[in-house]
Chains A and B, each alone.
Chain A
Amino acid sequence: MRPKSKNNKTLTAILLIAPFVLCYLVVFAYPVYKMFAMSFTDAPLIGEGDWVGLENYVRMFQHKLFYTSVYNTLYFVGLTVVPNTLIGLGIAMMIVRLNGMVQAGILILFFMPYILPVTVVTQIWQWVLDQQFGVAQPLIEAVTGKRISVFRDPLWAMPMVALVTIWWTNGFNVLLFISALRNIPQDYYEAASLDGASRFQQFRRITWPLLWPVTALVLTLQLILQLKIFDQIYLMTQGGPFNSTYVLLQLVYREAFGRNQGGYASAVAVALFVLIVIVSVLQYQLLKARGKS
């Protein structure tokens, strides 16, 4: 077969990537552009609106619920990202020391919640934490001295949503850490134990630095995922009590679908987008610097 001419090859290439490019433009690029564009208009949820310049943004920065939502979102991120990563690492380190079928069995147990739909997860935890019948109430009573309706208590609501989220998503982190731990050759630990390193020193000087790339990945994935918190809140607290669990995506949802303010909702969505970009870039730089030192 003779080699095809250059033009011919280019045409083939274009044809081959066309389906993807088309899909990308239609279902991703255009909607994103539309969202940015809408944030400068007074459009309702469906349909066009008039250009209003920065009015939506000005309004957003004067909106008390916006600040509450930003604060709550960051609070939730703080409650979940680092604990979820550390708990995942701890569980993975325990599981990796088991052998064969036992290891697989325990891993499945820890991974199981991850495959459950969020509705099932929240239902389970609403039962567990139910003020009257919840199996966790005796524990809460033992610690605090009284039964607490956790999703109706501003102090308790967000930490409990965080707890449920960690329980739900931790299996995936465990999985990532286990595969990373398995990649560290046993020889390193044998050499280190000959060199007199205790278990803790082995962890600090070998396991932790060698796991760092995976830890950084888990932290970044978690951060992006948890900034987008919505489902659990919507299903368990609806932002309450007293807006103590109101988060950014919920604000977007309320403005767009509840109050038919497409333009304003878009502005809040843009703010969330910017927040995610800033925080992840910051974190990435921070982790990179740590990895080098």
Chain B
Amino acid sequence: MSGVSLSNIKKAYGPINVIHDVNIKVEQGEFVVFVGPSGCGKSTLLRMIAGLEETTGGTIDIEGADVTHLEAAKRGVSMVFQSYALYPHLSVFDNMAFSMQIARRPKDEIKQKVDEAARILQLEDHLDRKPSQLSGGQRQRVAIGRAIVRQPKVFLFDEPLSNLDAELRVQMRMEIARLHNQIGATMIYVTHDQVEAMTLADKIVVLKSGSVQQIGSPLDLYDNPDNQFVAGFIGSPKMNFLKGIVNEPRVDGKITITLDDAPNTTFDITCGSATLNAGDAVTVGIRPENIGLEHDETVGPTVFLKPEFTEELGGVSYIHTQTKDGVRVTIERRSERNRVDQEDLQVTLPVRDLFVFDADGARLR
């Protein structure tokens, strides 16, 4: 059974379309992350699922029932807000009990459910406090507790960790992952942070300007991005992009490409059914960890890079460099101690690790 399914979802504010024909299927019990830069419509989409925003077109199904025009409270969803939205005048207990008090549930049941949620979230000692007496992480937990108590069909998280400091964010990220394993509910999580997306998600939906760019498992998106936007967005540090041109058009499903930075070498790459002509511009991408520091022309083109500075993180280090045209390229090294950033580097870009995108950003494969 599907947890949540969005079909041809559209959203317009007056004449301005902000969500274009979005189709997403979330399986029951799945943890799905909507990720994208700010303004991509991910929060709007989440609020449409919650029922806080009207849906202009398309249908939203939750566990098989069409809820497109149902009011928020009847959809069986809980939402954790970026600001937590805890009621400042109520104690932690009353905050978590709010929905059941509204529904006039018996006192015993309320107490039992709140205690249960408090136990899961380790809030037992704080039930009498006001939100202002809690730390950021604890407030976050209360907000999650308030969602748990309702036993919703779907949990919605709207950038829940962005108000926390870096260390706490990592910790809460793990707690959310643990919570998902523990209660196994369908969860939809919105973030602009691709690391959160990668670490939490069963499935990631990458959005840009109100359109779905790609849907897939984290590693799927990492290893096999559909377009240049997804390739650049997923992965930290970012994928490096270099300019090139098509040298010879398609022969046996392959094209020959020359990099602007390596004009004397050409390489062949699979291009699927794409038709490109000689002289067409392409973008070639390579992840920082795939750039070879040794010079080996048999595996791919070699490029000269001018090191600018190195970030030494112990196990891993990042060498930040520039090509002669000023394009920034980051190289990742692992467990190496010798410095190599003193003089120009001639690095190898193995052909098997290259991604090629056409002028519109679509992947050639």
Binds B, one of A65-73, A114-122, A190-198: A190-198
Asked whether B73 lies within 8 Å of A191 as measured between CB atoms, the reply is no
| Cβ contacts under 8 Å, B71 to chain A | 193
A19 within 8 A of B: no
CB distance from B41 to the nearest CB of A (A): 18
Q: Complex formed: what's the CA distance from A150 to B88 in Å? A: 48
B19 within 8 A of A: no
How many chain-A residues does the 8 Å CB contact rule pick out? 16
Q: Complex formed: what's the CA distance from A190 to B102 in Å? A: 14
Asked whether A196 lies within 8 Å of B87 as measured between CB atoms, the reply is no
Asked whether B87 lies within 8 Å of A190 as measured between CB atoms, the reply is no
Q: Which residues does A use to contact B, with CB under 8 Å?
A: 185, 187-188, 190-197, 201, 205-206, 209-210
Asked whether A194 lies within 8 Å of B50 as measured between CB atoms, the reply is yes
B77 within 8 A of A: yes
For chain B, the bracket of interface size reads 20 to 34
Q: 27 pairs across A/B with beta carbons < 8 Å?
A: A185-B83, A187-B83, A188-B85, A188-B87, A190-B72, A190-B79, A190-B85, A191-B81, A191-B85, A191-B146, A192-B98, A193-B52, A193-B71, A193-B73, A194-B50, A194-B52, A194-B72, A194-B78, A195-B98, A195-B99, A195-B102, A195-B146, A195-B150, A197-B73, A201-B102, A205-B87, A205-B98
CB distance from A204 to the nearest CB of B (A): 11
Asked whether A196 lies within 8 Å of B81 as measured between CB atoms, the reply is no
Asked whether B89 lies within 8 Å of A196 as measured between CB atoms, the reply is no
* Given A190-B81, A191-B85, A206-B87, A196 contacting B52 (CB threshold 8 A): no
Q: Complex formed: what's the CA distance from A193 to B79 in Å? A: 11
Q: Complex formed: what's the CA distance from A241 to B102 in Å? A: 53
* Given A190-B52, A194-B73, A210 contacting B103 (CB threshold 8 A): no
| Cβ contacts under 8 Å, A210 to chain B | 88-89
Nearest CB in chain A to that of B82: its residue: A187
Asked whether A196 lies within 8 Å of B78 as measured between CB atoms, the reply is no
| Cβ contacts under 8 Å, A196 to chain B | 73-74, 99, 102-103
Q: In chain B between 332 and 354, which residues have their CB closer than 8 angstroms to a CB of chain A?
A: none
| Cβ contacts under 8 Å, A187 to chain B | 81, 83, 85
Q: Complex formed: what's the CA distance from A201 to B72 in Å? A: 15
CB distance from A103 to the nearest CB of B (A): 19
Nearest CB in chain A to that of B77: its residue: A194
CB distance from A87 to the nearest CB of B (A): 24
Of the listed residues A188, A201, A210, the one surrounded by the most CB atoms of chain B closer than 10 A to its CB is A188
Residue-by-residue, is B86-126 near A (CB-CB < 8 Å gives 1, otherwise 0)? 01110000000011001100000000000000000000000
CB distance from B127 to the nearest CB of A (A): 18
Of the listed residues A190, A191, A206, the one surrounded by the most CB atoms of chain B closer than 10 A to its CB is A191
CB distance from A212 to the nearest CB of B (A): 8
CB distance from B153 to the nearest CB of A (A): 13
| Cβ contacts under 8 Å, A192 to chain B | 98, 102
Query: A197 contacts which of B83, B102, B150 (Cβ < 8 Å)?
Result: B102
Query: A194 contacts which of B79, B88, B89 (Cβ < 8 Å)?
Result: B79
| Cβ contacts under 8 Å, A206 to chain B | 87
| Cβ contacts under 8 Å, A185 to chain B | 83, 85
| Cβ contacts under 8 Å, B99 to chain A | 194-196
| Cβ contacts under 8 Å, B79 to chain A | 190-191, 194
CB distance from A98 to the nearest CB of B (A): 18
CB distance from B47 to the nearest CB of A (A): 8
| Cβ contacts under 8 Å, A209 to chain B | 89
Q: Complex formed: what's the CA distance from A190 to B51 in Å? A: 10
| Cβ contacts under 8 Å, A201 to chain B | 102
